[in-house]
Amino acid sequence: MAEEYDNFPSSDKNKPPLYIFFRNARNALKLDELGLEILQIALPASLALTADPIASLVDTAFIGQIGPVELAAVGVAIALFNQISRIAIFPLVSITTSFVAEEDTVNKTNQEAQQLDGYLESGDAENKELLPKNDSGESGFRGSSYESTKSGNERRHIPSASSALVIGSILGILEAIILITGAKPLLDFMGIGADSPMLIPAQQYLTLRSLGAPAVLLSLAMQGVFRGFKDTKTPLYATVSGDLANIILDPIFIFVFRWGVSGAAIAHVISQYLIAVILLWRLIKQVDLIPPSVKHLQFGRFLKNGFLLLIRVMAVTFCVTLSASLAARQGPTPMAAFQVCLQVWLATSLLADGLAVAGQAILASSFAKKDYVRATETAARVLQLGLILGCILSITLSVGLTYGKVLFSRDADVLHFISIGIPFVAGTQPLNSLAFVFDGVNFGASDFKYAAYSMVTVAIFSILCLLVLSTTSGFIGLWVGLTIYMSLRAFAGFWRIGTGTGPWEFLKR
């Protein structure tokens, strides 16, 4: 394996693993080959990732014109729907992206090897001995679950893509059943009891929006496939089309038809099915979704790594859901303000998830080829860009949210609480960006076990902080607790790479 490290510059070989965070930092914004590849993946991915939270913000803005009770009710329902969806979505999308990127890389390598085999067989056959041998002693590189396509015009055979769509469909149906049948007890857990004025509008919104859960899971599974292909433009076009439909239908259903919060939910469900149809139409043209047999599907591999990420996402979900529940227990006014701040906090932070997607796709391909130089350069670049993005978002939000908060509510008390939350929403953006990018770096290296166990440790400490601080300091305490939570997430990422452990052990060689 020594030759895989010989390509490192001599100046880097004696540096500690922590040096990766500063490697070529002066070139962080340089649009070289790596910079352009990251940009081409990250920009569409960021726009697509923020489109749905922006659509939720549009819902929030329209519903805020109805009244603070409806705004708070929908805030709880959206938080509940998003967090339960995230339990299924996050493991599925993350694993799909990595597996598809690996399989696509192997398939392309196979095609190149087959072309070279054919050239040597028709020409200088004795040079065939120079080709690397696989485990079976054959020339070329084999490793796909079944033979890759021989022509670039044919649809690709990607077992993980078929597996992701089957699993996504099943999970979406299960989520819809759980949310519809358990809407009332789930809302009660969130602090909206039978005597709360928020119960009826929250239950109406949650029940109707749950009908779109199958479309949400299926479309995000397909987005994971496209990300694995390093194609983030197709998901962007589909997402923007669906969310534009949502924005157009919102005022019609809410105010013209006078359906209130139910109208907002119906508009969102229609948009989700539109996104799923567009993505499926595009995917069928590129991938043969029907494998030769069931044995070619990757269910065992998905379940093994999916369970690890399920543990991780449950820890993340519980922290965010708990914070929303604690805010709801403080009353409709603090909850309405918390909903606005939380949606902005998550929507802007997801911009960094675009960098995470780019890092994950490129790293998965690099590790599949054992190109550790490329892996090191990619990790360093996306982390540096994440920090820069976080600082830009921090400045932008501190100004924009101060003057733009009136778009979400006209209630003076709600606006007062929003003002309290602005310093936390804006100030934590650098931490949020790094935490999200570290997720992509870990997943690109298939470091799913560390990602799961480190997040459980972070969640346990963060939950204790949220419970104590919300009791002693109220609304401010909630945001202090969330700041601690994001700080610990970022630190966990620094620790793994900075110590050169796990898949990053090569940094110590």
Among candidates 467, 443, 471, 472, which has minimal Cα distance to 455? 443
d(CA 337, CA 418): 5
Q: What is the pLDDT of residues 255-286, one digit of tens each?
A: 999 998 999 999 989 999 999 999 999 999 99
* Percentage of the chain exceeding pLDDT 70: 86
pLDDT grade for 119, boundaries at 50, 70 and 90: low
Q: Coil, strand, or helix at residue 164?
A: helix
Tens digit of each residue's pLDDT (9 = 90 or more) over 43-69 = 898 888 767 667 767 777 888 888 888
Residue 12 falls inside a structural domain: no
Does residue 5 form part of some domain? no
Position 351 pLDDT exceeds 90: no
What's the pLDDT at 259?
93
Task: Output the pTM of the full model.
Answer: 0.76
Q: Is the pLDDT of residue 152 over 60?
A: no
Kindly state whether residue 7 falls inside one of the protein's structural domains: no
**313 and 179 Cβ atoms separated by less than 8 Å:** no
Are 413 and 336 in contact by the 8 Å Cβ rule? The answer is no
In a domain, 253, yes or no: yes
Residue 121: what pLDDT?
62
- Number of domains comprising the chain: 1
188 in a structural domain: yes
Whether 4 is in a domain gets the answer no
Q: Note whether residue 6 is domain-resident.
A: no
Q: How confident is residue 8, by pLDDT bands cut at 50, 70 and 90?
A: low
Cα of first residue to Cα of last residue in the chain, in angstroms, is 11
Residue 102's pLDDT is 87
DSSP-assigned beta bridge partners for residue 428: none
9 within some domain:
no
CA 474 to each of CA 53, 197, 353, 460, 462: distance values in angstroms, whole numbers, following the listed order? 26, 22, 30, 20, 16
Domain that holds residue 104: 17-504
Measured between alpha carbons, how far is 141 from 131 in angstroms, rounded to an integer? 9
SS3 of residue 197 by DSSP: coil
303-332: per-residue pLDDT in tens?
A: 888 888 888 888 887 888 889 889 888 888
**Arithmetic mean of pLDDT over the chain:** 84
